[in-house]
Structure 1
Amino acid sequence: MPAAPGRVLVVDDSQVIRQLIRVNLELDGFEVMTASDGAECLEAVQHFQPDVITLDIAMPRLDGLRTVRRLRSDPRVGHIPLLLVSASAGQGEPPRGVDAVLAKPFEPAQLVCLVRRLWAEGRTPAVRLAKSVAE
C-alpha cells in the first residue's frame, strides 16, 4: 500500500494509547504529532496543521467533545476531519461535529483504515466545502 503523505494529530490522555495509535499510523506513512488533552490539541493544531485529528472523549482540562466544538468554531481548522476514539463512544450516529467514531478497544488495522478514509475525504474540495457549509 503506498504511503499517505498526510499528517495526523493524536489526542488522548493515555500515553499507551497515544503511542499505539502513533506507531500504527507512522507504519502506514502518516506523520504524527500527539497531545495529551484538548487544550494541548488546540495549541498544536495551529502549528502542526494536521489533515486528520483523533480524539478521546474523557480527558483532563478540556475533554474531547468540548474540543470538537472549539475546533469546529474556528474557521482556520474547522474543516479538519475528526475521529473520536474512545471507550465512551456509543453506537450509532457520531456526535455533532465528529466525522467518525471508533470504540476502544479497537483493531489497529481498523483505526488506520478510518484515518486513511478521512484523510482521503478531507482532501476532496467538495467534501471540505460541504463540511464548512454544514457547520
Structure 2
Amino acid sequence: MTGRVLVVDDIPANVKLLEARLGAEYFEVVTALSGEAALAEARRTLPDLVLLDVMMPGMDGFEVCRRLKADPRTQHIPVVMVTALDQIADRVKGLEAGADDFLTKPVNDTALVTRAKSLVRLKALTDELRLRSVAGRELGLDDGLDPRLFAEVPRGRVLLVDDRRSSFERLQTGLAGRHELTVETDAQQALFRVAESDFDLVIVSLGLSNFDALRLVSQMRSLERTRMLPILLVTEQEDRVRLLRGLDLGVNDYLVRPIDRQEL
C-alpha cells in the first residue's frame, strides 16, 4: 500500500534524499522546508503520513507535531519524527507532542519504508472505521463501533513466539507491567493460539530454532482471523535478507537485537 507522505526538513539535501527513497517505493511525496510551511502543506494536501525533522530553526519539530495533533483537520495523520537525538528524554518529549514513531539519522532505508508502509496502512484502516461511524450517525443507525477504538489503549494482549529462554526473558522484562504477555515456545501451538484468541500483537523471533519463523508469518497471514493482526519480527543485524522477505509477507514492523527498551 502506498500513499501521500509529507517530508519536512529545513535542509533541502535531506528532503531530496527522503523523497528519492520514498518515490522508489511509489509513495507520492510532498515537501516543506520549515515548520510553518509544513502546517500549511498538511492542511492543504492532507497527507497519509508526515516525516518530520526535529531540529529546525524557528518552529521546531516538537511544536509542529503539537499543532498538527491539535488541529481537527490533521490530528489523525501519523507523525514520524526524524532526529539525530537519541536521548530518552527527547523521545519522551516527542511522544508528549503526539509523535507516533521515531527514525534516527542516518535513516536506514529498511526502517524508513517499513514505518511508512505500516503507518499508512494503519491510517487507512482507522479512516475507514471513522467514515463508517460518521455515516452510521448520519443515517441514525448504531454502527456498533465502540468510541474506545479511537482512543489510546494503555494495555494490550501480546503473544511472544520465541524458543530461546534468554531471548524471551529479556523481552518479558521489557514488557513487564505494560501489557498482558503470553510466551509460546512452539510455533505450531502459537498458530493455534492466535487462531483461537484475541491478541492485539504477535512478536515473532526470526531465529526460531525448531521452525521457520517466516512460514509461521505466512500461515498467520493466510488465516482470515489473523490476516490483519499486527506482527512484529525480532531479528539479528545480519539477517537482513530474511527480514525483507518477512516484510514482503506482511510483517508490520521489526526490532533488531540488541533491543532498545524504549523502542520496544
User: What's 1:95 paired with?
Assistant: 95
User: Structure 2 CA distance, aligned partners of 1:130 and 1:29?
Assistant: 34
* Aligned position for 2:59: 62
Does residue 122 (structure 1) correspond to residue 119 (structure 2)? The answer is: no
Query: Are the aligned partners of 2:2 and 2:117 in contact in 1 as well (CA < 8 Å)?
Result: no
Q: Which residue in the other structure is 2:80 paired with?
A: 83
Q: Secondary structure at the match of 1:105?
A: coil
The offset of 1:32, in angstroms, is 0.2
User: What is the one-letter code of the residue matched to 1:103?
Assistant: T
Other structure's SS at 1:53 match: strand
User: Which residue identity is paired with 1:100?
Assistant: D
**Cα distance in 1 between the residues matched to 2:34 and 2:113:** 21
Q: What's the CA shift for 1:52?
A: 0.2
Residues 90 and 120 from structure 1, CA distance in 2 versus in 1: closer, same or farther, beyond 3 angstroms? farther
SS in 1 for 2:102: strand
What is the alpha-carbon root mean square deviation over aligned residues?
2.2
Identity %: 34
Distance 1:87 1:6 in 2: 26
Identify the residue that residue 109 of structure 1 maps to in structure 2: 110
**Tell me, which stretches of 5 or more residues in structure 1 are unaligned?**
none
- In structure 2, what is the Cα distance between the partners aligned to 1:13 and 1:104? 14
What is the letter of the counterpart of residue 9 of structure 2?
A: D
Q: CA deviation at 1:132?
A: 5.7
1:130–1:58 Cα change, 3 Å: farther
Alignment of 1:36-47 (within 5 A): 36-47=33-44
- State TM-score, norm by structure 2: 0.46
Deviation track 1:100-124 (CA, whole Å, cap 9, x = no partner) reads 0011012122111111111111111
Q: Is the 8 A contact 1:50 1:80 kept in 2?
A: yes
Question: Is the CA contact 1:79–1:131 (under 8 Å) kept in the aligned structure 2?
Answer: no
Q: How far 1:38 sits from its partner (Å)?
A: 1.0
Deviations 1:35-61 (A, max 9, x none): 011111011111111000000111122
The structure that has the greater radius of gyration is 2
Contact 1:7/1:52 (CA < 8 Å) preserved in 2? Answer: yes
TM-score normalised by structure 1 residue count: 0.86
**Higher relative contact order by CA 8 Å / sep ≥ 6: 1 or 2?**
1
1:6 and 1:13 map into 2 onto residues whose CA distance is: 23
User: Unpaired runs of 5+ in structure 2?
Assistant: 131-146, 153-264
Q: Give the number of equivalent residue pairs.
A: 131
Q: Check 1:130–1:65 CA distance in 2 against 1; reply closer, same or farther (3 A cut).
A: farther
- CA–CA separation in structure 2 for the residues paired with 1:34 and 1:132: 28
Q: Is the 8 A contact 1:89 1:102 kept in 2?
A: no
